[in-house]
Amino acid sequence: MQHLELISEFEKPDGDGEAFLTKRRIPRHEALQCLAQYYGIPFIEYNERLLAPGELLPKISLERLKEDLWFPLFYRDGAVTVAVSRPRDPDVLEAIRKTLGIDRLHLLIALPSDIVAIIENHQDINPGFSASASRTTLAKLRTWFAGQRVMLAQYRTILAKGRTGLAFIRTGIAFLSISLTLFRLFGFGYLTIPEFLLLACGVVMVLDGFTWYLPARQVGRKSVGKGVTEPTFGTTILEQITSPEGPSYRRTPPVSGAELLRSRWNRLSPVQKRRFLAIDRTDLAEERTMLAGFRTIMAQARTGLAFTRTGVAFIGLGIAFLREYHESLWSIFDCVMILFGIGMTLEGLHWYLPGRQAGKYSTIGLKKASRRVSIWDFMFPPFHKRISPNDLPSPLRINGDCAPGIWGTTGLALERTLTADRRTVKARLRTVMAQSRTGLAFIRTGTSIFSVGMGLQVFFGFRNIYWSCLNMTLVAVGLVLIVDGSYWHFPAEKIKKQFPYCTSDMEIALPDYGRPTPEWPKVVFSHDDM
pLDDT at res. 255: 92
What mean pLDDT is predicted for residues 384-409? 59
74-90 per-position pLDDT tens digit: 888 889 999 998 888 88
287-323 per-position pLDDT tens digit: 999 999 889 888 888 888 887 888 888 888 888 888 8
Residue 43 — φ and ψ, nearest 5°? -110, 165
DSSP one-letter code for 395: P
363-383 per-position pLDDT tens digit: 888 888 888 888 887 876 655
Q: For residues 307, 309, 312 and 316, what is the CA-based torsion angle, rounded to 10 degrees?
A: -140
Alpha carbon distance 42, 358 (integer Å): 62
Rg of the chain on CA atoms, in Å: 34
The 10 Å Cβ neighbour count of residue 352 is 19
Q: Please give the residue that has the higher pLDDT: either 477 or 393.
A: 477
pLDDT at res. 227: 62
Lowest mean pLDDT among 14-23, 333-342, 425-434: 14-23
* 241 Cβ contact partners less than 8 Å away, ≥ 6 residues apart: 247, 248, 249, 250
pLDDT at res. 389: 65
Instruction: Kindly give the residue spans of alpha helices, DSSP state H, lying in 12-100.
Output: 17-24, 28-39, 62-68, 90-100
Alpha carbon distance 427, 292 (integer Å): 8
Alpha carbon distance 107, 110 (integer Å): 10
pLDDT at res. 283: 93
- Please give the C-alpha separations between residue 133 and each of 225, 239, 444, in angstroms, as whole numbers: 23, 8, 47
pLDDT above 60: residue 401: no
Mean pLDDT (the chain) is 81
Alpha carbon distance 413, 272 (integer Å): 11
3-state class (DSSP) for residue 118: helix
pLDDT at res. 501: 61
Question: Residue 509 pairs with which residues in a beta bridge?
Answer: 522
**In the chain, what are the domains?**
2-122 (3.30.300.160), 135-378+405-498 (no CATH), 499-530 (no CATH)
Question: Residue 250 pairs with which residues in a beta bridge?
Answer: 239
Sign of the dihedral defined by the CA atoms of residues 173, 175, 178, 183, in that order: negative
Own/partner pairs for 21-28, CB < 8 Å, 24+ apart?
26/2, 28/111
Alpha carbon distance 381, 275 (integer Å): 21
> Parallel, antiparallel, or unpaired: how do β-strands 104-109 and 79-84 relate?
parallel
Residues 453, 471 contacting (CB under 8 angstroms): yes
* Kind and range of the H or E run holding 79: strand 79-84
463-484 per-position pLDDT tens digit: 788 888 988 988 998 999 899 8
Alpha carbon distance 213, 217 (integer Å): 6
Q: Is 239 left (phi over 0), alpha (psi -120 to 50) or beta?
A: beta
What mean pLDDT is predicted for residues 54-70? 86
Alpha carbon distance 111, 32 (integer Å): 7
Lowest mean pLDDT among 272-286, 295-309, 374-388, 418-432: 374-388
pLDDT at res. 407: 53
pLDDT above 60: residue 280: yes
Which residue type occupies 173?
Answer: I
pLDDT above 60: residue 418: yes
158-185 per-position pLDDT tens digit: 888 888 888 888 888 788 878 877 877 7
Alpha carbon distance 242, 421 (integer Å): 28
Lowest mean pLDDT among 7-11, 228-232, 448-452: 7-11
**pTM of this structure:** 0.75
- Please give the C-alpha separations between residue 493 and each of 164, 383, 430, 502, in angstroms, as whole numbers: 24, 30, 12, 11
* 80 Cβ contact partners less than 8 Å away, ≥ 6 residues apart: 53, 56, 72, 74, 100, 102, 104, 105, 106
330-346 per-position pLDDT tens digit: 788 788 888 888 888 88
214-266 per-position pLDDT tens digit: 888 777 666 665 567 788 888 999 988 877 777 788 899 999 989 888 888 88
